[in-house]
Amino acid sequence: MLIIIDSNEYIFAFGPSKESNALHLEIVFQYEAKGLKPADAFIAAYTEWAGADCLVTENRHFLFRHADLPFKVLTAEKCLKLI
């Protein structure tokens, strides 16, 4: 399981991740086209690109409204209950 944690300052990844460090900007643009602001689109795109199972965040509540995401969005509390 790969978990991405958004801390407002940094993005942390825990678990096996991809070897390549090149995030494809096309994914960022897809999220911007869905109405996300650039920084939020980058975080969502990174989470998808990394193949993460979930994004743990306390400040990306707008993502809860997007049911078609390829990853789960959890608060820290919900994540801790799962692990």
pLDDT band at residue 40 under the 50/70/90 scheme? confident
> Per-domain residue ranges for the chain?
3-14+23-82
Nearest to 24 by CA among 6, 42, 2, 1: 42
**Mean predicted confidence (pLDDT) in 22-51:** 88
Residues 6+ apart with CB under 8 A from 15: 1, 2, 3, 52, 53
Task: Name which of 9-13, 45-49, 52-56 the model is least confident about.
Answer: 9-13
Please say if the pLDDT value at position 64 is more than 60.
Answer: yes
DSSP H or E stretch at residue 39? helix 38-49
